[in-house]
């Protein structure tokens, strides 16, 4: 037997041995549907818990899926056109899973922070079935809600309306939103190396968001690697690039606020963001003059809106309280569903979703922390590194000084600001 023939025979033997080993180790399917799951219609969480809550205890229904039965039904109508029709065997042992049940399962997963395996057991469906349901429903939630409940302004009049609301509620003129970024903690993706490993020593993707004066997200960028900074994610995002290129549709600089003078419209951010004509950030350092301290206080007061929005998000959707065990692309789907659900509920049932005392209150400089902060102490979204450049032009410096002078003037001052910065300092 020549060498080539011997090698061919050896290779064939190895293939046969591998095939035999696979046959020996292959799992034998014991049943088509687990006996425990066959009682889903009588004992599954949707049938035995949620259906009863709808009729006898609406407050418990809210705690379980974060919305009342009426709002749940409204949401189902909005997302049903976007739910895929899955081929499913309808029999006595495998009855159809309704769209209402699929939605309830998904909301419970997002709201509870429990593992997908636990949710599957509670609803008496297989783990892979629960996985496909949650991905499908999250995508449908985003598709069904985003155009109505999270449409980013694109016209000057729309941005001006946001700014008017900000000035009326938080005494900060020409502000078109508060912006910040957070790490979303997740399990290390397979074969990802250090791509998602951040400076705080865990794996994450970044959620960058801008918020209006009523704690609603108006722009999100989700999925950047955890290694990025706020400023880096912002500069690479489509929204950041549109602001830099002046294509975001912002109004022209105006003098619409008495005593302010002509000033462009801008976001407010922390030290992680660059100082630009479209972005105001605080003065750096600690030994600051009174006018700079007042400016920083007024900016911080306006920027507190985005901090509270993230707080509400984590407190209501406890998926974010521990590392998410999913692929990065699925973490993106979960996050998109949660942020647009936040806007939907903040619009349709804010009194229940965000009741009095749940968020921070600032009355005449006296800040009372909201109860959502308990959830952040027990785990939640993590701040991004403060890594933005502090370089800026003389023109932008002049704009910030103009705004600082306005806050000291009779037209722009609030009565408690000096006491507030004195206490802070």
Q: For residue 36, what pLDDT is reported?
A: 72
Per run of 10 residues, the mean pLDDT along the chain (length 425 residues) is: 60 66 57 73 88 93 96 98 76 78 97 94 92 97 97 94 95 96 88 72 88 96 76 82 93 92 95 92 91 95 94 94 93 97 96 90 81 72 64 88 96 92 72
Q: For residue 387, what pLDDT is reported?
A: 46
Q: For residue 243, what pLDDT is reported?
A: 92
Q: What is the DSSP string of 381-416?
A: -EEPP--------HHHHHHHHHHHHHHHSTTT--TT
Q: What are the structural domain ranges in the chain?
A: 37-149, 156-424
- Residue (of 169, 102, 95) closest to 132 by Cα position: 102
Q: For residue 371, what pLDDT is reported?
A: 86
Q: For residue 230, what pLDDT is reported?
A: 55
pTM > 0.75: yes or no = yes
Which runs of E-coded beta strand occur in 269-335?
279-280
Sign of the C-alpha dihedral computed for residues 331, 332, 338 and 339 taken in this order: positive
Q: For residue 367, what pLDDT is reported?
A: 80
Q: How many CB atoms lie within 10 A of CB 28?
A: 4
Q: For residue 392, what pLDDT is reported?
A: 79
């Amino acid at each position: 037997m020549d060498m080539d023939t011997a090698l061919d025979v050896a290779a064939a033997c190895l293939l046969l041995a591998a095939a035999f080993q696979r046959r020996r180790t292959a799992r034998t399917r014991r049943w088509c549907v687990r006996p425990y799951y066959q009682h889903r219609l009588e004992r599954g969480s949707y049938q035995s818990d949620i259906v009863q809550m709808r009729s006898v205890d609406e407050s418990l229904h809210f705690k379980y899926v974060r919305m009342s039965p009426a709002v749940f039904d409204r949401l189902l109508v909005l997302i049903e056109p976007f739910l895929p029709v899955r081929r499913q065997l309808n029999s006595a042992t495998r009855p159809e899973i309704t769209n209402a049940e699929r939605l309830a399962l998904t909301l419970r997963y997002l709201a509870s922070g429990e593992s997908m395996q636990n949710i599957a057991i509670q609803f008496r469906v297989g783990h892979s079935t629960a996985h496909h349901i949650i991905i499908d429903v999250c995508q449908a939630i985003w598709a069904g809600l985003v155009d109505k409940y999270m449409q980013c302004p694109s016209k000057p009049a729309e941005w001006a309306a946001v700014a008017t609301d900000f000035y009326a509620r938080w005494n900060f003129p020409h502000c078109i939103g508060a912006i910040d970024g957070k790490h979303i903690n997740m399990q290390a993706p397979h074969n990802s190396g250090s791509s998602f490993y951040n400076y705080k020593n865990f794996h994450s993707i970044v959620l960058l968001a801008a918020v209006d004066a009523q704690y609603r997200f108006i722009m999100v960028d989700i999925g950047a690697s955890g290694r990025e900074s706020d400023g880096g994610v912002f500069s690479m995002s489509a929204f950041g690039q549109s602001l830099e290129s002046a294509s975001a549709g912002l109004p022209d600089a105006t003098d619409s606020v008495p005593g302010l003078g002509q000033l462009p419209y801008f976001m407010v951010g922390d030290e992680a963001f660059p100082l630009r004509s479209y972005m105001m950030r605080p003065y750096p350092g600690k030994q600051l003059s009174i006018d700079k301290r007042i400016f920083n206080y007024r900016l911080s007061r306006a920027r507190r809106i985005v901090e509270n929005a993230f707080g509400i998000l984590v407190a209501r959707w406890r998926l974010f309280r521990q590392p998410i065990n999913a692929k990065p692309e699925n973490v993106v789907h979960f996050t998109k569903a949660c942020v647009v659900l936040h806007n939907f509920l903040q619009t349709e049932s804010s009194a229940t979703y965000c009741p009095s005392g749940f968020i921070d209150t600032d009355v005449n400089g006296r800040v009372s922390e909201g109860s959502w902060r308990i959830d952040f102490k027990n785990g939640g979204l993590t701040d991004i590194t403060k890594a933005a450049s502090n370089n800026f032009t003389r023109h932008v410096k002049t704009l910030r000084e103009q705004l600082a002078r306005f806050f000291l003037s009779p037209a722009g001052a609030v009565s408690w600001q000096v006491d507030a910065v004195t206490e802070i300092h």
